[in-house]
A and B are shown apart, each in its own frame.
Chain A
Amino acid sequence: MVEFDELAERFRASHAVLVAARDRLQAAVDAGTASDDQQKRLETVKELLTPVTVSETDADGNVVEVQRPRQFYSVDPEGQGRAVEVLGDLQKAKHIAVLVPGMGNSLDTFNGQADRGDLIRTEAGPDTAVVVWMDYDSPKNLLEAASQDAAVEAGPRLAAFLDEVDELKADDADVSLVTHSYGTDVGAEAVRAGARPKYLVMTGSPGIAKYVDEAADFVQPPTRLFTERAAGDYVSYSEWHGPDPANFPDAIRMATVDPRGEDPVSVHWHNEYYRENSEALRNIGRVIRGDLDSITTTNTSRSTETKLLLGASWGGPLNTVAGMASKVYDGVVALTKPSKESAGAAAGQTAAGRPPDAAGRGAGGAGRGSEGRRR
């Protein structure tokens, strides 16, 4: 359990860790003994030690600039590196989003993740805090990302962290878990390990497991699953790890393009969900602040999406090829993975326990409206 007073102490302790790392790395650089990796890490640590700027008001009602240290809940500057940063006031926020990134990440890419976290926080609005959670060894490449070992290892730790957030936050504050790509596997493992965020958002997911084809297979109430799949998202089409959550009948599939056709920003492929002014980002903000009535949904198919994108349907063939390629991997992991039935039983799932749709209606048919229908 983390006490309220302990949060500030955690921030101070993490700052001290970074200062010590900076001094040690700087000494190596000054002595001419630092490796390229150490020189890179020194630059990273210096960036993480750079204060952030916020706007406040003074006694006369003027807008003033205030600087303060960044708030690292935890940080490990060694090796691949890990960090958990809080953007905003975790204890006073009404809405909290925990952001989990995917593969290829390390401490040296953390500032990019924090930038996306800041973008999401801006979109969600005032009284929102975002936690950028990179407390796992993100797969370094596609070969490593083919395995879900890193997610399986990380899930319980993320679940434990969410328990700590529950201890820290205001009683009426809600928590969303926002995940992308391989991060969706980490998020899934967290809820399987007992995490109960109010909302679970999955964008561009490669799938959860071969036997998971509905939210009820791994998400327990009161958690609700919201998904996004953009046109041309080859990772979602591949279903490399399992059926695409965007096709789950009991998930709310959010639109990624403006239903009015007036969206100047088109989101395509796997990398554009977190793009300024996009419907994909706007819907994520709506979930975080609980404005579920404003969420827009879609039910477009792979075939439709790829035809619209390139004039030919390639989503289905890609799915077939990816499925064949993954059979080798499946053959190895099938021996150690539970079945859909055993996993559901272990999770205590029942059909009646399936999450309702965005507007609070019952199980089944959630979010399955036509493209652009306003909820």
Chain B
Amino acid sequence: MTGDREFLRSELLAVAAAVVPGQRPVVTHDPGPINPGVLFDGRGPATVSRVTVQTGNPRSPDPVAEVEAAADALRARGWTADVVPPENGHYRVAAQRDGFDVAVHAWEADWRITLTGETPVVS
């Protein structure tokens, strides 16, 4: 599971750097393995890791272009990535690869681009 977690983190950092080359992405969430079903039953095993990375262009945010750039960067790295139709100022990419799930969020109301992903479940 450690390898999956490190892979996911490195992918998110690489994509974030590609989307906003002039900024240094920040890992804002990387707590290690957790039980994905904890809200039902906390007794379950810790089988997934989730990692979140943030970047952005505070001076001139452009969420439309940023999610397109994120999708391109993900595809170039072997991910299947789709830009989801926007919803009231929310722009998103949904991406998958080998059991990993990644979402990229950008918002008209915020300069931040948030890339968050989850590793495959380890049985």
Q: How far is the CA of A81 from the CA of B15 in the complex (A)?
A: 39
Q: How far is the CA of A297 from the CA of B43 in the complex (A)?
A: 31
Contacts of B40 in A (CB 8 A): 101-104, 180-181, 204, 235, 270-271
Contacts of B35 in A (CB 8 A): 109, 112
Q: How far is the CB of A286 from chain B (nearest CB, A)?
A: 8
Of residues 58 through 73 on chain A, the ones whose CB sits less than 8 Å from some CB of chain B are 61-65
Chain A CB within 8 A of B78 CB? no
DSSP majority for the B interface? Answer: strand
Q: Is the CB of A112 within 8 A of B42?
A: yes
Proximity string of chain A (159-173) to chain B, C-beta cutoff 8 Å, 1 when within and 0 when not? 000000000000000
Q: Is the CB of B42 within 8 A of A118?
A: no
Chain A CB within 8 A of B74 CB? no
Q: Is the CB of A55 within 8 A of B39?
A: no
- Comparing A18-26, A244-252, A274-282, A362-370, the segment that makes contact with chain B is A274-282
Q: How far is the CB of B101 from chain A (nearest CB, A)?
A: 4
Tell me the nearest residue of chain A to B112, going by C-beta.
A55
Q: How far is the CA of A138 from the CA of B38 in the complex (A)?
A: 12
Chain B CB within 8 A of A294 CB? yes
Chain A CB within 8 A of B123 CB? no
- The count of residues in chain A whose C-beta lies closer than 8 Å to any C-beta of chain B is 54
Chain B CB within 8 A of A321 CB? no
With A63-B24, A126-B109 given, is the CB distance from A116 to B87 under 8 Å? no
Contacts of A112 in B (CB 8 A): 34-36, 38, 42, 46
Q: How far is the CA of A116 from the CA of B43 in the complex (A)?
A: 15
Pairs A–B under 8 Å by Cβ, sample size 20: A55-B28, A55-B55, A101-B38, A102-B40, A103-B42, A104-B44, A112-B42, A113-B42, A122-B52, A125-B90, A126-B110, A138-B42, A181-B40, A262-B82, A273-B39, A274-B39, A275-B36, A275-B101, A276-B103, A294-B87
Residues of A within 8 A of B (CB): 47, 52-55, 57, 61-65, 99, 101-106, 109, 111-116, 118-119, 122-123, 125-127, 138, 141, 180-181, 183, 204, 235, 262, 264-265, 270-277, 286, 291, 293-294
Residues of B within 8 A of A (CB): 20, 23-29, 31, 34-44, 46, 50, 52, 54-56, 58-59, 80, 82, 87-88, 90, 94, 96, 101-103, 105, 107, 109-112, 114, 116-118
